[in-house]
A and B are shown apart, each in its own frame.
Chain A
Amino acid sequence: MNNMIELCYCNGSVLVWNVEDAHRLRSEHRIVGNFIGCLPSLPRQDQMLGLPMELMTEEVFHLVTRGIVKIVEFKQLYHPAEEQHKQKRDDMHKASFSDQEISFKEERIKQLKQMADKIIEGKRRKTNGIVDGDLVLQEEIKKIPKMSEDLMMIQIFTRPFWKCQGEAADYTINQTLRCRVFSDLWEKGYYITAGEKFGGDFLVYPGDPFKFHSHYIAVCVDEHQLLTPYFLIQKGRLGTNVKKTVLLCSVNDNGEIMYQSLNWNGK
């Protein structure tokens, strides 16, 4: 399956470094993930973060079991770059500088041409005679200084510029109750994100979280867990306060996922 998306295993996290893949995961597979890097154009704000996108364990489990992704590790990136890559980088750097010098000059020429009339007029007044417009322009163009090295724009690559091959990562996830509940809710057509900030396991949305509020706070409970009144009140109150329904999720003896919603009637 060559169309499998590659997820990058890195220091205990599973990350997506490719925007196209992040887009595909969201549009084709309803997997939202969580961006954790600074946004390149606006790094000092928290409203919108950028690559890499980190995935929850349950999201990874879901994608792996359905054969949508494979988890790879780029072991070579722990070590310094190979000589050929270093050389390539130096060559690219030099080439970029000459290209930028050329672009810089072209830009200046364009500016001069726009101001051509004024320049020619100025020369005419000085010499008080006939002036060859083209010659004047050529002289000005010759005067354009070379772009200073200081002004060169250097790119900080998000991903290595050479095509890195990843090896299959030694990363296994055990199926937990949370994984099962995640996949079941996903089967039902929901979008699911992390729920810890709301005191639960997942937040469950009827549509893309960009456009819709979540309806449920999913709380996974072991089938044989004794639910104390204290627990029920805690979760019930939580739901009411944030206007969401708390969904207690568990697996019964037949292996089916059971859902129980909590409706708080008290004041």
Chain B
Amino acid sequence: MLSAKELLDLRSRKAHPRSLPTMPPKDFVPTHSAEETATINAIVEEKMTYLKEERAERRNLLTKADWLPQEKVAKIEKKLGGGWDVYGFDKNGKTYLQPEEALFLIELSKLELWYSGTPVSVQQAYQILLVEDLCSTLKYRVYSHLCRQGYRLVRRLLFGSSAAEPSDYDCIPHLLASASESVLIQFSDLEFLPESIRNRESTYVINKKDFLHFCVDREEVATSISLASTNNPLFSGKTKPLLLGNFIGDPYYANDGLYNPTDEELNQIDEDDLQISYDVYSPGRHFRKSNPGPPCFMLAIAEWSSNVPSLLCLERFKRRCGPKTVPLVAVSGAGSGVSFYQLKGVVSPM
């Protein structure tokens, strides 16, 4: 419990926080000398002084939010301080926070979370917000690790609408609208094609299923897309693109690629599947809640003790990500921090 004097000292220190302690270079073999022991004790003591510090913020910079246990979100009363164009999700004129977001903002001293008429301590917040079905400790470790570095993480709802928005696939509507399973495209006038491919095939067969792997609800995509709604400049000229992204031309997907799972395999939903937890957007001022655009990464979170995902599982994950997003897996555990891995297809030079 901080006294008034301590609080006011904190306020004046906030403008110029002291920097982290500088660590002396590490040695390889201990000498156990008195001097060495004293040095180590001094380092530990100094670190402890940082750890002992309590959080406090000015009333007009500290936003209040109420924890709603049934809805499992925090509702913000009034937004104070800056940065609210990137935090939370808006609904009916109010801003709400997911549990992990609320906890992170508490740790940043931006938020005071109230639970049934009184504010909660950080310890209590960890206890009520990181419950398994809300957001586990494992997920929070990864979430806060990335947020501290400025990344924006948006929860990916299962079977949700986050990334595969119709606007990404402006060029496919006429294909999806047709009832048939594939479309035959014949170029009668080769002058419309770019010079580099004019002496290639003039007839192409495009299979409808190749475009629908990343959306679970196919009907929803097919009916909501209309050619008229697109404002992609590529459609305003004589030549219109057939396909977006690197599905055709990406060597990993080419017919002579090393790994070609069958459709049944790809459409299966396995228990082992990597669940995409978050869409990750890079740090920077360009992020807007209302229109975030395609994320940089789609993040799945796993434990160190889990099995390495199968190639099929990774393939499904990659296809769900779409062309502009990189699939990323974060691994963490008690005691070990966070590590990341991703698998990319490459073309063998042979």
Contacts and interface: CB of A to CB of B under 8 A. Distances in A.
A205 to B, nearest CB: 9
Given A11-B137, A43-B107, A211-B26, A152 B123 contact: no
Contacts of B112: 154, 156
Contacts, number: 230
Given A46-B145, A47-B20, A99-B4, A153 B57 contact: yes
A196 B338 CA distance: 10
Given A17-B123, A154-B56, A196 B51 contact: no
Interface stretch (A20-28, A64-72, A114-122, A124-132): A20-28
Contacts of B136: 11-12
Interface in B102-124: 104, 106-109, 112, 115-119, 121-124
* Size category, B interface: 35 or more
B197 interface: no
Contacts of A195: 336
Given A10-B127, A38-B148, A194-B334, 13 more contacts: A23-B44, A34-B336, A48-B20, A56-B334, A153-B56, A154-B112, A155-B54, A155-B55, A157-B54, A159-B121, A160-B121, A160-B124, A194-B333
Interface stretch (B58-66, B159-167, B225-233): B58-66
B128 interface: yes
A52 B123 contact: yes
A12 B132 contact: yes
Interface residues of A, number: 79
Interface string B7-19: 1101101000111
Q: Which of B26, B118, B149, B335 has the most CB of A within 10 A?
A: B335
Contact of B148 (A13, A44, A196): A44
Interface of B: 1-5, 7-8, 10-11, 13, 17-21, 23-24, 26-30, 36, 39-41, 43-44, 47-48, 50-60, 62, 104, 106-109, 112, 115-119, 121-124, 126-128, 130-132, 136-137, 141, 144-145, 148-150, 304, 331, 333-337, 339
Contacts of A206: 29-30
A102 B11 CA distance: 16
B137 A40 contact: no
Contact of A156 (B24, B57, B118): B57
A153 B10 contact: yes
A96 interface: yes
A11 B132 contact: yes
Given A44-B150, A159-B121, A213-B27, A34 B4 contact: no
A158 B121 contact: yes
A96 B118 CA distance: 16
